[in-house]
Copies of this chain bind each other. A is one copy, B any other.
């Protein structure tokens, strides 16, 4: 198995149904990844060790998904110079709106590339990771262009009708 280029971290095992969408896309593009559960609040050392070690381990992009007061992406971004992509998860009574603000409103100096709330966000996290990786991988770039074309073509075949 190849060394992971993308690391996916999520704050809780219960985030899996959402984050699976990122995995599905990385599998489709055959981009090697690793996946782990690590909570910024409940297992801070685990997060700390991961964030500090990711670059040396060969990881190029980090995807972090979290719900509620979603600190995971920001806490990782604080300890790495790798691009960090954040996915707000709609697991609290506030439906991920709390997570969106907790992830996106980072102070100047420490960006988190924030995606939309929930499954669409998890999917896009993987695609953004691939866009970043494709900056130095022409084969991946080509795959990405095909994916974009296929997406457009799939829509062109959809319903078109007239009425009245």
Contact = CB atoms under 8 A, between A and B. Distances in A.
Place the interface of chain A in its size category.
Answer: 35 or more
A21 B29 CA distance: 35
A7 to B, nearest CB: 10
A54 interface: no
Interface in A4-50: 4, 11-13, 16, 21, 23, 26-27, 29-46, 48
Given A12-B107, A106-B124, A164-B30, A92 B117 contact: yes
A64 interface: no
Given A106-B120, A108-B119, A116-B104, A162 B32 contact: yes
A52 B152 CA distance: 15
Q: Is the interface of A mostly helix, strand, loop or mixed?
A: mixed
Question: How many copies of this chain sit in the oligomeric assembly?
Answer: 8
Interface string A111-135: 1011111111001110110011111
Interface of A: 1-2, 4, 11-13, 16, 21, 23, 26-27, 29-46, 48, 60, 67-69, 71, 74-75, 77-79, 81-83, 85, 90, 92-111, 113-120, 123-125, 127-128, 131-136, 141, 144-145, 148, 151-152, 154-156, 158-164
